[in-house]
Structure 1
């Protein structure tokens, strides 16, 4: 009796570049969390995934680029939280929530994910593309709040773009990651509340020229 030949092995589905990148990012984040960014090499990440370092470099040209990408993921979570602020709120309340949510997001990373916070700081210091994109998004989001206040008459300003830039610059004086380690949380919260009170009052009745 002729033996039945074994069935051919199922061919492994080829992963897309996006899937491979996501896998590399997830494993790199895991290793950075456990061993630290400085002590983790591209070779370590590649070995843990069963791939060559060259394959990792094909998707991320350097460890710094990999770190910037992970920092961008967590900045994206802050962006999601800011996007979730209801647009039906009065513009002044939206601006207050915006500042509070931005500060809370950075503080969460500083305390719960310090290595991620360090990656964000690294991106700020090197002016990474991901950081610039996040700042551009923040600028647009603040401008939309200012424009809503202009539309309903609650903000007495004439130039939305300039006003939004000034407002964001003021907020960064309290929420910028490079400054957060210098004050404790109660002091930060008080400084932010005072800054928002001043900004909202100025938007409602601009200072005389």
Structure 2
């Protein structure tokens, strides 16, 4: 692996190379850290091991991330942004109630797959959520925004009969965020979770299509 540098501007063979931008080094650190964290988990992971993998000094890693918790937070941030982005895209016109159900199921299935296939990554999501780190707060905000946009689409297309009110969209997002919170999912029975998500989606759809909904 190429030596990412101890600030010397030279490779291990002594040939001078262009100095890397801080953002590029940060991305390399994140990529290597994610691989190690997926293999070892947060408890067994260390900055020293990461630095050795990257052939850089631990001090260089600490210049970009002050702790392994900060690294985990940054990795989770990238993961949740990519994950939520996938749920906002619909390939064909779909009515608002079906959009809501599809989004809930996609989110649930992705989390369940992460628990099975990437348990250490999901462990990090739980840690950052419990520690109230920035990525945990951002995850909650992204979930609320996702469902706020779904509700707004339903109102604009005339399917949902309530007025566009920030309290309504915020409460819908919060309801789903609480059911699909990583801490809850780690302890949930899969069949019960599916039933609960479908039931909540049906309840929200019924309420939003009711002309008396406020």
TM-score by length of 2: 0.85
Is the aligned partner of 1:139 residue 2:150?
no
| 3-state SS of 1:71 partner | helix
- In structure 1, what is the equivalent of residue 182 of structure 2? 177
| 3-state SS of 2:20 partner | coil
Question: Relative contact order, CA 8 A, sep 6+: which one is greater?
Answer: 2
Structure 1, unaligned stretches of length 5 or more? 1-8
The root-mean-square deviation of aligned C-alpha atoms, in Å, is 2.0
Is the aligned partner of 1:47 residue 2:52?
yes
Is the aligned partner of 1:203 residue 2:212?
no
Does the Cα contact within 8 Å between 1:156 and 1:204 map onto a contact in 2?
A: yes
* Equivalent position to 1:19, from 3, 21, 24: 24
- In structure 1, what is the equivalent of residue 115 of structure 2? 110
* Equivalent position to 2:97, from 76, 88, 92: 92
Taking the aligned partners of 2:148 and 2:140, their CA distance within structure 1 comes to 12
Taking the aligned partners of 2:158 and 2:91, their CA distance within structure 1 comes to 19
> What are the superposed Cα offsets for residues 133-190 of structure 1, whole Å, 9 maximum, x if unpaired?
2322322222222122112221111243111111122213421111113232222111
Bigger CA drift: 102-111 or 117-126?
102-111
Q: CA deviation at 1:195?
A: 1.0
Aligned residues: 201
Taking the aligned partners of 2:37 and 2:156, their CA distance within structure 1 comes to 47
- In structure 2, what is the equivalent of residue 189 of structure 1? 194
Superposed, 1:56-71 pairs within 5 Å as: 56-71=61-76
Is the aligned partner of 1:79 residue 2:111?
no
> What are the superposed Cα offsets for residues 78-113 of structure 1, whole Å, 9 maximum, x if unpaired?
112212234732111111111111112221211111
Taking the aligned partners of 1:175 and 1:86, their CA distance within structure 2 comes to 24
CA distance 1:154–1:184, shift in 2 (3 Å): same
CA distance 1:65–1:133, shift in 2 (3 Å): same
- In structure 1, what is the equivalent of residue 42 of structure 2? 37
Bigger CA drift: 52-61 or 96-105?
96-105
- In structure 1, what is the equivalent of residue 127 of structure 2? 122
Taking the aligned partners of 1:208 and 1:36, their CA distance within structure 2 comes to 46
Question: Which of the two has higher C-alpha Rg?
Answer: 1
Does the Cα contact within 8 Å between 1:41 and 1:63 map onto a contact in 2?
A: yes
Once superposed, which parts of structure 1, at least 4 consecutive aligned residues long, lie more than 6 Å away? none
| 3-state SS of 2:43 partner | coil
Q: CA deviation at 1:207?
A: 5.7
